[in-house]
Amino acid sequence: DGGITQSPKYLFRKEGQNVTLSCEQNLNHDAMYWYRQDPGQGLRLIYYSQIVNDFQKGDIAEGYSVSREKKESFPLTVTSAQKNPTAFYLCASSSEAAQGHGELFFGEGSRLTVL
Amino acid sequence: AQKITQTQPGMFVQEKEAVTLDCTYDTSDPSYGLFWYKQPSSGEMIFLIYQGSYDQQNATEGRYSLNFQKARKSANLVISASQLGDSAMYFCAMREVNTNAGKSTFGDGTTLTVKP
């Protein structure tokens, strides 16, 4: 079945540590996105990539980094510079063939807690 | 200015009744898409319905319909015959084709509770 796989589902991190969240898709989508969601709030865009080897900052990129070496993969690193990283992280993809009118397909999310 | 505004933080509805979740948007791009997503307590985001800016008719998907009023920049979600499983958070989102590189912008969401 086609879809997006995020791992790990739950992650605990000590302050000062970098952590990497994995996101893999087999939908052959060009565009991939990382969103952050805080409790009871909407989604805020961290980074997005519309093509391999290229990515752009979203609204809240500080303290995060990404790579897009393969079409299928878009990992997110939460660095120690991110002051408040405890949140729910959602990875999504979309088909650019729909030229902006296609819906987002989401993974199940990764919940990061800083101890 | 907020691009997507959902003014109802929480809504209650009796099982089997209809409910309308409000969404207004702001854009100067003539080409855009409007979307509704459902987020159950498990956290996954589920796509419900889509309306294109050039679509003449309101979109419908089963029990979901989108009341699109372009001049008012309004895209309300109507859920008919509510079920207990409809209890979730609902997000309105917009993708602007020309002015925002097709990125999605989300509202703050509405938490819907269906009462038995």
Question: Digits of tens for pLDDT over chain B (116 positions)?
Answer: 679 999 999 999 999 999 999 999 999 999 999 999 999 999 999 999 999 999 999 999 999 999 999 999 999 999 999 999 999 999 999 998 887 777 889 999 999 999 99
- Closest alpha carbon within chain B to A43: B106
Q: Which of B110, B66, B63, B64 is nearest to B87 (CA)?
A: B110
Strand partners, B51: B34
Spatial contact of A79 and A93, defined as CB atoms under 8 Å apart: no
pLDDT digits (tens, 9 = 90+) for A60-88: 999 999 999 999 999 999 998 888 999 99
Angle at B62 between CA B60 and CA B66, to 5 degrees: 30
Cβ contacts of A113 on chain B, cutoff 8 Å: none
Q: B107: distance to nearest CA of chain A, Å? A: 6
- Whether the CB-CB separation of A93 and A33 falls below 8 Å is answered with yes
- Output the CA angle B39-A83-B89, nearest 5 degrees: 10
